Structure 1
Amino acid sequence: MITYSYPRLEARVTQMSLFGPSESGPDPKPVDDRRVRLQLLITVKAAPNPSEKYGETVCVAGLRTDTLRTSWVRLYPINFRHLDSDEAFRKYDIISVEAKPARQDQRRESWKPMMDTLRKENRLDTWKSRRPLLDPCVEDSMCRLNRDAQARPDAQSLALVRPSEVRGFKVTRHEGWTPEEQRKIEAYASQPDLFSGRSRTPLQAPRFKAAYHYRCHESGCRGHKQHVIDWELVALQRRLHGYSDAALAQALEAKFLNEMCAPGRDVAFYVGNQAKRVHTFSVLGVYWPKR
């Protein structure tokens, strides 16, 4: 168990209320479907999921940087192969892209990107350069986010939440794709690539999945268990594919618990919920600058 002490918590909460997310939640989507060019700092690349139409899709999220009031944005769908080598953009790149409001998704932060319009504008390479944008958006109550999502489906669905203590990081075997997911993979993989003419490689399920157990700062918090769907969890498993199961599980815990959540880190979790189950939040990534 890792417990954190934040001596300047009150000052940070005041700062958040002035510049970060407000209690009213995210702004409503535009009423029309005209394209809007968004500029945002990429903070989240979620693990890929099978898709019959796109093959493998990922959800990307970030903080909008071209408006006076900062706000979270979710971009979906994005083809996994387009991002697999990090050639398009990486976490903590600032990009601009034209997008339309995602009408089939009630979550206000959700937009459908036009990937051929994407441009990389800048990159924030250091925690020092990222903190002025992200620190004011850190929140302290995961409990509040849960309550709001249960009360209304279009409540805030993306956030950066600071734990008061991380109770554990549990690694378990991935059960593999469901029959429906496997059907989607096979349907997509059976079609030759229109540009190369070659068959598509099926998306492989990772060996392990993982979940954080933590408490937020709300008084009376009973704890939160949230699955990790961070791209980095899958990418690390791919890099260490030659490890035994025991060694790989140990390596995942060493990275995501012992290193990212070490006492010397000012840790917070990027969290997001599901469109079909808005009351279910997952950890999309870890924010872990040094204190």
Structure 2
Amino acid sequence: MNQLSFWGPDDQRSPQPKAGKIATLRLLITVKAAPNPSARHGETVCVGALSVDPGRRSWIRLYPIHFRDLDDVNKFRKYDIVTVDALPANQDRRPESWRPIVGTVRPEHHLSPGSARRGYLDPYVEDSMCRLIEQTREAPDAPSIALVRAHDISGMTIARHRGWTPEQQAKINGYLSQLDILDDHHRTPLQAPRFTGSYRYRCADRRCHGHKQSLLDWEFVALQRRLSGQTDAEAADQLRTKFLDQLCSADRDVAFYVGNQAARPQTFSIGGVYAPGRPTSRHRLRDNR
């Protein structure tokens, strides 16, 4: 089976600038993870993206993004093309990690579903999650972001969230206690999501015995908020319908945006689902002419 490199067809990593040098990145946003507690900002978001600069085609991680504090003109959606000024995250050994400069995010335009998105992303789809994990065992600077095809999805687990840990709650409380009483912004504490979710699947590696990875997608948490009036059973059923039955249906070519943890490089989570429709027989015939 032919397998594309993590870095795309040319298999070339583009080096980051020297330490401390600001770069302007032009990116296709692919992942907006659910917010996490932050002592300094109340909450922060990790964003995954693909560089669309011809000379710097690579995966990019932006952290931290204080999304609720962004002006409306700077807010962006998944599959927006944006520019942002950023510095290499020198304290993070993962080569894709950058630290964005607040207020420099500039959305350009949104990519609609279909050929426009596929033209950027399809060349970066990989077949082996197993190989990606192996690479992190072998090298500390191994790829930490990828788009991995799900060969066989066996199910989705949805469980009640246990709530913030004492450390996470302390961050939230500390941030709220530091707010200036003259601040005219209405700040509400970040609420823990109602549920956690994880996918069970096999990649196309012949050695694969299966993967179970947590889903950290902003959209997964946002849907939970909209289902607040439903019982746990009803809400869980709606989540499973959306993220398993619909997004991962047989007529979709499903791949997962995955990323690992800085402290646990071999632990990967799913930041989002890439699920373009499978080409019909008619389209395949046309493409083969």
- What TM-score, normalized by structure 2, do the two folds share? 0.90
- 1:84-107: CA deviation from partner (whole Å, max 9, x where unpaired): 989700000000011000011110
1:1-291 equivalence runs, <5 A: 10=2, 13=3, 16-17=4-5, 20=8, 26-68=13-55, 70-82=57-69, 88-192=75-179, 196-197=183-184, 200-291=187-278
The answer to whether the Cα contact below 8 Å between 1:150 and 1:279 also exists between their aligned partners in 2 is yes
CA–CA distance in structure 2, aligned partners of residues 86 and 269 of structure 1: 29
Q: Is the 8 A contact 1:177 1:205 kept in 2?
A: yes
Question: In terms of mean alpha carbon deviation, does 75-84 or 152-161 score higher?
Answer: 75-84
Change (3 A) 1:149 1:18: closer
> What is the CA-CA distance between 1:153 and the residue it aligns to?
1.9
Cα–Cα, structure 1 residues 195 and 231, in superposed 2: closer, same or farther, change >3 Å? Answer: farther
Report the CA distance between 1:83 and its aligned residue.
Answer: 6.1
User: Given residue 221 of structure 1, which amino acid in structure 2 is its aligned partner?
Assistant: C
3-state SS in 1 of match to 2:103: strand
Residues 90-128 of structure 1 deviation map (CA, whole Å, 9 limit, x = unaligned): 000000011000011110000000122221122102222
Q: Structure 1 residues 53, 17: CA separation in 2 closer, same or farther (over 3 Å shift)? A: closer
CA distance in 2, matches of 1:218, 1:167: 16
Greater mean alpha carbon deviation, residues 211-220 or residues 67-76? 67-76
Q: Look up the SS of the partner of 2:178 in the other structure.
A: coil
> What is the TM-score normalised by the length of structure 1?
0.89
Query: In structure 2, what residue type is equivalent to 1:253?
Result: R
Displacement, 1:189?
1.7
Q: Percent of counterpart pairs with the same letter?
A: 55
Deviation beyond 4 Å, 4+ runs, structure 1: 21-24, 83-87
> 189-198 vs 206-215, which deviates more?
189-198
Deviation at 1:28? 4.1
Q: Measure the CA separation in 1 of the matches of 2:265 and 2:71.
A: 28
SS in structure 2 of the partner of residue 242 of structure 1: coil
CA distance in 1, matches of 2:19, 2:181: 33
Q: Deviations over 1:199-218 (max 9, x none)?
A: 62110001100100100001
Q: How many residues align?
A: 278
Q: Is the 8 A contact 2:145 2:259 kept in 1?
A: yes
Taking only aligned residues, the RMSD between alpha carbons, in angstroms, comes to 2.2
Aligned-partner SS, 2:135: helix
CA drift of 1:198 comes to 5.0
Residues in 2 aligned to 1:220 and 1:109: alpha-carbon distance in whole angstroms: 27
Q: Is the 8 A contact 2:125 2:255 kept in 1?
A: yes
Is there any run of 5+ residues in structure 2 with no aligned partner, and where? Answer: 279-289
